[in-house]
Amino acid sequence: PKPIVAVVGRPNVGKSTLVNRLAEAREAIVHESRGVTRDRSYHEADWNGREFVIIDTGGIESEKSDDVFAPRIRQQALAAANEADVILFVVDGRTGATEEDEEVARILRRTDKPVFLLVNKLDNPEREEAVWDFWSLGVGEPRALSALHGHGTGDLLDEVVACF
C-alpha cells in the first residue's frame, strides 16, 4: 500500500489549498470523499517518483457549526495519528497559535509518527518571524509555508517522502 500523509488543523488555515498544491505535483485528484467519513478526501500524489496518498480532513460541514467543532477536530487528529504514516499539522501564521491549535497539538504530541508543523499563509519572506510563536505547541520546529504561492512546498515534500 502507498504511504499515507494526513493533513490536519482547524478550519480555514489552508489545509485544502495545501492538499491541492501537493497533489498537483502529479495533476491527479483521484477520488473525492471516498471512504471513511464525509469530511475526508483522498488524493493521489507523488514526488520524485515516490507515490503516496494525501488525506484532506475537515469538510464544509464541520466548518459551519462551531459547537461541534472541538470534538470533531480531536477526532480528526486522532484518526490521522492512527492511519497516517506522516502528519502535516497546518496552522495560520497570520493569527498566531489558538486554543484549537493547542487542542490538536495535545493529541499529536502523543504520537510517534512524524509530525510536520506548517505555519501557513506566510506569503512574504518578512513574515517568517511569525513561526516563532508556534514553538509553544510542543510538536517540534515550526516551518514557514505559503500553500497559496507554493513557497516551501518543495522542501517539505523532500522531507516528507524521506520519512516513508
Contact footprint for Mg ion (CB under 5 A): 15-16
Enclosing H/E stretch for 89:
strand 86-92
- The Cα-based distances of 147 to 67, 79, 95, 153, 158 in angstroms read 28, 23, 16, 7, 16
Rounded distance between C-alpha atoms, residue 102 and residue 108, angstroms: 10
Minimum CB distance to ligand GDP, residue 39 (Å)? 11
* Residue 138, annotated as binding a ligand: no
Minimum CB distance to ligand GDP, residue 142 (Å)? 15
Where b means 16+ CB within 10 Å and e means fewer, 17-30 reads: bbbebbbeeeeebe
Residue selected from 3, 11, 114, 140 as contacting ligand GDP according to rule CB under 6 A: 11
Contact at 8 Å (CB) between 92 and 12?
A: yes
Which one of 7-15, 25-33, 68-76, 152-160 is the stretch in contact with ligand GDP (CB under 6 A)? 7-15
16: contact with ligand GDP by CB under 6 A: yes
* Residue 10, annotated as binding a ligand: yes
Q: Which does 41 bind (CB under 5 to 8 A by kind): Mg ion, ligand GDP, none?
A: none
Q: By CB under 6 A, what part of segment 47-106 binds ligand GDP?
A: 58, 63
Phi, psi of 49 (to 5 degrees): 85, -5
Rounded to the nearest 10°, the torsion over CA 128, 133, 137, 138 is 80
The cell numbers describing 38, all together, are: 464525509
Q: Which does 121 bind (CB under 5 to 8 A by kind): ligand GDP, Mg ion, none?
A: ligand GDP
Residues that bind ligand GDP (CB under 6 A): 9, 11-17, 58, 63, 120-121, 123, 146-148
Going by the annotation, the residues of the binding site are: 9-16, 56-60, 120-123
